[in-house]
Structure 1
Amino acid sequence: MERVLKIYVYKEGNKPVFHQPLLRGIYASEGWFMKLLQSDKHFVVRDHKKANLFYIPFSSRLLQLSLYDRSSHSHENLIQHLKNYVDLIAAKYPYWNRTGGADHFVAACHDWAPRITSRSMGTLIRALCNADLKRGFQLGKDVSLPEIYIRSVRNPLRDLGGNSAENRSTLAFYAGNLHGRLRPILLQHWENKDPDMKILGPMPPGVESKMIYIQHMKNSRYCVCPRGYEVNSPRVVESIYYECVPVIISDNYVPPFVEALNWEAFAVIIPEEDVPRLKDILVSIPEERYRQLQLGVRKVQQHFLWHSRPAKYDLFHMMLHSVWYNRLHQVAIR
């Protein structure tokens, strides 16, 4: 990939929807990828004739903020905006029509991205945070984009790291809003029911609560990552940042970079129906197995980091690898 991959970034499109990376908040992964790729000098080429992949630099979050009319309860104008863009580049360049968009890709982290891209961009490779097999995510074509809550643009890796395996006194930790149907069930079974299970609802707003939340993660053996309204959760990567073994409870969710990473080596994945058995499942994991899982978390941590300047094997490179891998897979099966 390092030698062969060449990407053309389309210049068409107006801000804020296009070419304006959003670098803070829960949807920031799409913005960091856009920022780093637009300034890249290794993979990006100015001559579109030399490219083997084409990147459409739009922000699904800024599309939603700019165009969504809350009173309409409709996504049609967002969908039409993207269709107009595809029509523009298809009329100006031969590349979209040549492959039907199969050698094009986007990175879109908003929950609505699978729907708003499905009509006009369904043939391209979509890097989606909402990687839901029941909502149109196509394994082998689309890429699961890690959802990461970026609080500091200057230092996205602030507070990285955690306690060693022997210095984690809490068996399992969760705190958060009760989005969706699963989280209330989690609290119903485990909130204030067991001293080993620190399962909480939403924490109070403010910097102090955020630091307490981080310390809980650093002090826990397992960090519970239940789905909300959608399958994805920033807690998965937060767990990896704080070296806490993630417990993913989200049916039909495709974890990031399954093309390259064996998630069973550093995470516990359980069906949603097994929430009542959560503690039994965790305590049944032998100590040696837990230590292997935590070591696995520490090993893969490098693959989930955003740097102001990309580093080898980091999230920027993992993203490109997954897109490149899936494109080769598409070509191979034709």
Structure 2
Amino acid sequence: MQRYLSSSTPDEALAFAKRETENAPLVSDDPELYAPLFRNVSTFKRSYELMEQILKVYIYKEGKRPIFHHPYLRGIYSSEGWFMKLMEENRKFVTKDPEMAHLFYLPYSARQLQKALYVPDSHDLKPLSIILKDYVNMLAAKYPFWNRTHGSNHFLVACHDWGPYNLKEHKELQRNTIKALCNADVSEGVFIAGKDVSLPETTIRNPRRPLRNLGGKRASQRPILAFYAGHVHGRVRPVLLKYWKDKDEDMRIHGPLSNRITRVMSYPEHMKSSKYCICPMGYEVNSPRIVEAIYYECIPVIIADNFVPPFSEVLNWSSFSVIVAEKDIPKLKAILLSIPLKKYRSMQTNVKMLQKHFHWNAIPVRYDLFHMILHSIWSSRLNQIQGPGSS
């Protein structure tokens, strides 16, 4: 196979990978992959192995810091920075020969773009969009690669809420490029389910120790049924607080936690002491609470009608989370209480097994968050391939 692949064009190698993935051998027991987490563990395993064997990414060198090539590694938008850092350091997947590339990475930071260019309180995102439009036009004029596919084999990774809106001045960038976005909202016409990638939103407080304070308590040591604390903005959170704030001792639903409360129990301890962690959308559909809940072994309860959860093309979210329609917020406690204890224990086990797929590691390891994001982008590229064996 390696001899065949080494003599193949990038498109031939992708067509081969697509056929192989569609005809994946059955996986019965893999020590690295916990089957209940996946829609089809056999397909995922084969696709991932082929990514490791085949994928080459070309990273454009153009673009000055801080917007380009300068990862921002702290805070709720740090996913884009961590991916940029680890991708640019990578020797396995990165190629210096663009003719060998299956994918082309546009290395910019939506967070850095906002910090460098946005005029506070102006509500004007157009200057940010123009920077990206000019950047892509420059690459298209300098290299032949964008124009060959009109950008469909290029990808970007943007976690800031404004990531989708910064693309609107360049129609091919918005329509054709594979977009890995934290703001994975199918209702706004930018994020395209099945083509684009839902990027996890991860809060990193200490970039030197991104995995600090992980883990949680077992089910018998979680006296709180459901917990939420945070700012009250967007359309969902005010409704959540209207129905549940200070209404029920089992439902610890708050705005920002007061010092009086945190002196007794910190925010992470609340999550570690709760069976279910409520993850309502704010201004936009995603919330860092989803990954925080996974880190603290608390079942995420997602309330965001138009949100595509991360890696949903391979992960079975119903096995480790609860998705509640926005209209059902008044029934929230009844919905959670209706889940049998056996099902809850299974979901909590699944959350523990899931954690490694959401870990940032300074040196990436198989199946971690860096590789899961890259696999989603690889999977999207395979889905573009047409030909014998394509579905």
Please classify the TM superposition score into its range, dividing by the shorter chain length.
Answer: over 0.9
Is it true that 1:233 corresponds to 2:287 in the alignment?
A: yes
Change (3 A) 1:131 1:33: same
Deviation by residue 1:30-54 (Cα, 9 ceiling, x = unmatched): 0000000000000001111111100
User: Given that residues 21 and 30 in structure 1 are in contact (C-alpha distance below 8 angstroms), is that contact kept between their aligned partners in structure 2?
Assistant: yes
Distance (Å, rounded) in 1 between the aligned partners of 2:129 and 2:332: 40
Q: State TM-score, norm by structure 1.
A: 0.97
**Structure 1 residue 211: Cα displacement:** 6.9
**Where does residue 18 of structure 2 map in the other structure?**
none
Superposition CA RMSD, Å: 1.6
Match of 1:297 in 2: 351
Identity value in percent: 56
Once the two structures are TM-superposed, the CA of residue 209 in structure 1 deviates from its matched residue by 6.5
The one of 300, 323, 334 equivalent to 1:280 is 334
In the alignment, is residue 53 of structure 1 matched against residue 103 of structure 2? yes
Contact 1:217 / 1:239 at 8 angstroms: preserved in 2? yes
User: In structure 2, what is the Cα distance between the partners aligned to 1:204 and 1:88?
Assistant: 50
For 1:16, the equivalent position in structure 2 comes to 66
User: Which residue is equivalent to 2:8?
Assistant: none
Moved more, 71-80 or 227-236: 71-80
Q: Distance in 2 between matches of 1:303 and 1:83?
A: 33
Structure 2 residue ranges without an equivalent (≥5): 1-50
- 1:139 maps to what in 2? 193
Using the alignment, how far apart are the partners of 1:185 and 1:274 within structure 2?
A: 10
Q: Equivalents in 2 of 1:222, 1:216: separation in Å?
A: 10
CA positional deviation for 1:119:
3.6
Alignment match, 1:308: 362
> 1:94-243 residue pairs with structure 2 within 5 A?
94-120=144-170, 121-122=173-174, 123-135=176-188, 136-204=190-258, 212-243=266-297
- Cα shift readout 1:268-316 (whole Å, capped 9, x = no counterpart): 0010010000000000000000011111111111111100000110000
What is the number of equivalent residue pairs in this alignment? 333
Q: Which amino acid aligns with 1:25?
A: G
Q: Deviations over 1:135-181 (max 9, x none)?
A: 22101111000001110101111110000122111110000000112
Structure 1 letter corresponding to 2:82:
W
Structure 2 CA distance for aligned equivalents of residues 23 and 258 of structure 1? 25
CA distance, structure 1, for counterparts of residue 194 and residue 142 of structure 2 = 29
Q: State the shift of 1:118 in Å.
A: 3.6
Determine the structure 2 residue equivalent to 1:75.
125
Report deviation, 1:84.
0.7
SS at match of 1:225: strand
Indicate if the aligned counterparts of 2:130 and 2:169 stay in contact, CA closer than 8 A: no
Moved more, 64-73 or 312-321: 64-73
Would the alpha carbon gap of residues 25 and 52 (structure 1) be closer, same or farther in structure 2, given more than 3 Å must change?
same
Q: Secondary structure at the match of 1:134?
A: coil
Instruction: Select which of 310, 313, 318 maps to 2:372.
Output: 318
Moved more, 193-202 or 115-124: 115-124
Kept in 2: contact 1:310–1:317 (CA 8 A):
yes
- Following superposition, the deviation at residue 251 of structure 1 comes to 0.5
Is this contact kept in 2: 1:240–1:298, CA < 8 A? Answer: yes
Please identify runs of 4+ aligned residues in structure 1 that moved more than 3 A.
208-211
Q: Say if 1:286 and 1:116 are closer, same or farther in 2 by CA, change over 3 A.
A: same
One-letter amino acid of the counterpart of residue 128, structure 2: L
Which whole-Å CA distance do the structure 2 matches of 1:124 and 1:41 have between them?
24
Contact residue 66 and residue 112 of structure 2 kept, 8 A: yes
What residue number does 2:91 align with?
41
1:91 aligns with 2:141: yes
Aligned-partner SS, 2:54: coil
- One-letter amino acid of the counterpart of residue 160, structure 2: H
Residue type at the aligned position of 1:152: N
Please give the per-residue CA displacement for 1:44-69, whole angstroms capped at 9, x wherever unaligned. Answer: 01111111100011000110111112
Give the match's secondary structure for 2:225: strand
Whole-angstrom distance in 1 between the partners of 2:324 and 2:244: 16
Secondary structure of the corresponding residue to residue 310 of structure 2: coil
CA distance in 1, matches of 2:122, 2:275: 45
Measured after TM superposition, the shift of residue 74 of structure 1 is: 1.4
The aligned amino acid for 2:208 is R
Q: Deviations over 1:59-110 (max 9, x none)?
A: 0011011111235421111111001100111111111000000000010001
Q: Which amino acid aligns with 2:215?
A: G
Specify every segment of 5 or more residues in structure 1 that has no aligned partner in the other structure, as ranges: none
Alignment check: 8 A CA contact 2:277 2:298 kept: yes
Distance of 2:121 and 2:203 partners within structure 1: 28
